[in-house]
Amino acid sequence: MTPAPAALRPDTVRIVHLTDVHFGLEDRAAVEAALLMAHALKPTLTVVTGDITLAGRPDEFRAARAWLDRLPRPILVTPGNHDTPYYNLALRSLQPFHRWRRFIGADDAAEFEGPGLVACAINTARGAQPRLNWAQGAINLTAIEGVAARFGRADASLRVFACHHPLIDVEGAPVSGGVHRGDAATRALCEAGVDLILTGHLHNPFARPLPYGAGCSYVAGAGTLSLRTRGVPASFSVIEATDDTLSVTAQAWTGSHFEPFRNWAFPRRQSAGG
Ligand SMILES: [Fe+2]
């Protein structure tokens, strides 16, 4: 049974953050239960930070698209490295997001603005790179300048940025995002007043403050809803932001239901636009 969500204060923004579902090797029961719980939570926004497929195959994209279509709206979706034709080097190098565009939509950037919230997503996945680990991330700093300008124009209290790879490495994480220009992008986003950066890729939920800007900028990664777990249960995350607190709760799959697994609470910045 999905527990009834707690009543929200009127100033609360609630985000359901799902990632790394890896259709093709998804945890079917967890994926279906997460969809039901997402609806029960009535989020302000649903965010999906990539790796929706295992190897970018058409049948995986079809299953992912059918699931995405059933998630609560509005929704913001951005690709991960597994959403490229993983085992087809030629196609992955030449047309990495051809299937993403065919089945899902725009691959490079997405944004949402609604009451109290502006959210922007930029693709950090690449089909090929001049380094051994092509699956690590890279980010375009011109795109980040655009996000910073968007944040500057937004009449919203919560500024959220979403991408697949953690832009800076997370201590103790099982893998590295290895994002080219990730540190510079993080600094620029913090200086633009980002409140929260949402990421996937690690298959482990985490949240922590970021070391740049005026403080009160945070990063939160959600876990996986696939069978590719790395030492912790399958999970997704729920973010709730009031005027003074930002909380992140990882909901872990027990095999029969989701239950709170890890929780973080941080102070919100108090000067508008700071
Ligand atoms: Fe990934």
Judge whether residue 5 has pLDDT over 90: no
Residue 125 Cα to ligand 1 midpoint, Å, equals 8
Average pLDDT, stretch 193-201?
97
Evaluate whether residue 6 is within a structural domain: no
Per the structure, how many domains does the chain have? Answer: 1
Evaluate whether residue 272 is within a structural domain: no
Measured between alpha carbons, how far is residue 190 from residues 135, 151, 217, 219, 243 in Å? 25, 11, 6, 10, 18
Q: Can you read off the two tokens belonging to residue 143?
A: 């795109």
Residue 106 Cα to ligand 1 midpoint, Å, equals 18
What pLDDT shows up at residue 11?
81
Q: Give the separation between CA 247 and CA 267, rounded to whole angstroms.
A: 9
What pLDDT shows up at residue 191?
95
Residue 201 Cα to ligand 1 midpoint, Å, equals 4
Residue 7 Cα to ligand 1 midpoint, Å, equals 34
Q: Which residue type does 230 have?
A: R
pTM of the complete model: 0.95
Residue 139 Cα to ligand 1 midpoint, Å, equals 14
Residue 180: count other Cβ atoms within 10 Å of its Cβ. 19
Give me the CATH number covering residue 159: 3.60.21.10
Report pLDDT digits (tens) over 105-147: 999 999 999 989 999 999 999 999 999 899 999 999 999 999 9
Average pLDDT, stretch 72-88?
97
Sequence-distant (6+) residues with CB within 8 A of 234 are 27, 30, 223, 224, 225, 226, 227, 252, 253
Measured between alpha carbons, how far is residue 127 from residues 91, 137, 164, 204 in Å? 9, 10, 14, 23
Evaluate whether residue 206 is within a structural domain: yes
Q: Give the separation between CA 98 and CA 85, rounded to whole angstroms.
A: 9
What's the alpha-carbon Rg for the chain, to the nearest Å?
17
Evaluate whether residue 249 is within a structural domain: yes
The closest of 70, 77, 22 to 45, measured between CA atoms, is 77
Residue 230 Cα to ligand 1 midpoint, Å, equals 13
Q: Can you read off the two tokens belonging to residue 177?
A: 């995002």
Residue 95 dihedral angles phi and psi, to the nearest 5° = -140, 65
Q: Give the separation between CA 236 and CA 147, rounded to whole angstroms.
A: 25
Using a pLDDT cut of 90, give the percent of the chain over it. 86
Residue 115: give the domain boundaries: 13-267
Evaluate whether residue 216 is within a structural domain: yes
The closest of 140, 117, 124, 228 to 188, measured between CA atoms, is 140
What is the DSSP code (8-state) at residue 5? P
User: 40: part of which helix (H) or strand (E)?
Assistant: helix 28-41
Residue 54 Cα to ligand 1 midpoint, Å, equals 9
Band of residue 7 on the pLDDT scale cut at 50, 70, 90: low
Residue 86 Cα to ligand 1 midpoint, Å, equals 11
End-to-end CA distance of the chain: 41
DSSP-assigned beta bridge partners for residue 150:
none
Residue 137 Cα to ligand 1 midpoint, Å, equals 9
Evaluate whether residue 3 is within a structural domain: no
Residue 117 Cα to ligand 1 midpoint, Å, equals 26
Residue 81 Cα to ligand 1 midpoint, Å, equals 5
**3-state SS assignment for residue 210:** coil
Residue 101 Cα to ligand 1 midpoint, Å, equals 18
Residue 1: count other Cβ atoms within 10 Å of its Cβ. 7
Measured between alpha carbons, how far is residue 257 from residues 1, 72, 191, 253 in Å? 6, 19, 40, 6
Residue 17 Cα to ligand 1 midpoint, Å, equals 15
Evaluate whether residue 7 is within a structural domain: no
Cβ-in-10-Å burial (0-12, 13-18, 19+) of 55 comes to middle
Report pLDDT digits (tens) over 198-225: 999 999 999 999 999 888 999 999 999 9
Evaluate whether residue 273 is within a structural domain: no
Report pLDDT digits (tens) over 143-192: 999 999 999 998 878 999 999 999 999 888 888 889 999 999 999 999 99
